[in-house]
Amino acid sequence: MTAAEVALTATFRRFWKNWATILSLRQVADVAIPIAAQPLSAIHRDFVDQLSVDPQYKKIIVNLDGSEATWDDDTKNLLRTAMTAGVMTSAKAAIDAASLVFAHSVLDDSAWSYLRVCAIACPADWEPIIAEKKVSFADLGRSLDAIRHEMIREKIERMERESLLKKVDLLFQLCRPPKDYAPVNDYVYDRGRLEKIDDARNGIIHKDGIGKALDDIEDDLDFIRKTANYLLALVNRRYGVQVVATLGPLPPEDFDGKAIEENSPHMR
């Protein structure tokens, strides 16, 4: 197994392990949420009953003239029903938000890891990408291969902190798929849609999007999953690197100089 195959196989395994976790979360939620309303309603009924007789809260609800309102059964049922509905809606929104953030993260990891596979498989493809990088005087005593390798390593390390879109854009630059390339059934790569998903993820993490309904969550998750498969196909088409069908442990992933370049299919 070459170093590129090890890295590709490890990435493939990691994606599907993480994706199974996301599916587990959603499957449990699909089963649990519909049956949660009844026990939640009982909890909220007890809570409202306690509020209705608690002197500290009894005057929260007042009549229009400011006089104390009576906590009759209709009032208590209205509050209980609103609380239960609110909790159910918030829980569904939170699960959908978590699913999108998790899915975005595993796709981001895959895109970055596939960049590493590209670098291992054919370092020469990175030369136009690192062409403008300056070489220090201390590097002049090293071989060109060693200098190139270090530059690629530094570029990949910086890319880990870049956005998902920049990672995918660089993969396209390296793999250069032909027009209308469609290796995944019922899927067309759409950068604009990926950008919208990226924006939604940022809204959840950095703004107030965690409580907002995601109406297209199922379609977005399907798009993310297929995008991961599409990126895998890009790398396979360009470099011929394949996922090794083994359930056993993989050798340690490596990215150190000649050991990798000599194991690359392009160096044999």
What's the pLDDT at 182? 93
Q: Looking at the predicted structure, is the pLDDT value of residue 245 above 60? A: yes
| More confident: 183 or 54 | 183
Distance of alpha carbon 100 from alpha carbon 196, whole angstroms? 12
What's the pLDDT at 218? 95
φ/ψ of residue 16, rounded to 5: -75, -30
**What average pLDDT does the segment 18-30 reach?**
96
Question: pLDDT tens digits for 86-103?
Answer: 998 889 999 999 999 999
Q: Which DSSP state fits 173?
A: H
Residue 176 falls in which region: left (phi positive, over 0), alpha (psi -120 to 50) or beta = left
What six digits make up the tokens of 186? 């019922």
**What average pLDDT does the segment 193-221 reach?**
91
Extended strands (E) in the chain = none
What's the pLDDT at 257? 37
Q: Is 165 exposed, middle or buried (0-12, 13-18, 19+ CB in 10 A)?
A: middle
pLDDT band at 254 (very low <50, low <70, confident <90, very high): low
What's the pLDDT at 138? 55
Distance of alpha carbon 5 from alpha carbon 240, whole angstroms? 10
pLDDT band at 21 (very low <50, low <70, confident <90, very high): very high
Whose tokens are 């196989």? That residue is 9
Whose tokens are 């981001």? That residue is 108
pLDDT band at 79 (very low <50, low <70, confident <90, very high): confident
Question: pLDDT tens digits for 140-199?
Answer: 656 677 778 888 888 999 999 999 999 999 999 999 999 889 999 999 999 999 999 999
C-alpha pair distances (Å), 27 with each of 19, 95, 147, 201? 12, 11, 49, 21
Helix (H), strand (E) counts: the chain = 8, 0
Whose tokens are 């011929």? That residue is 240
Whose tokens are 């209205």? That residue is 78
123 contacts 152 by C-beta, under 8 angstroms: yes
| More confident: 221 or 245 | 221
**What average pLDDT does the segment 250-259 reach?**
55
- As beta bridge partners, residue 62 has 68
pLDDT band at 263 (very low <50, low <70, confident <90, very high): very low
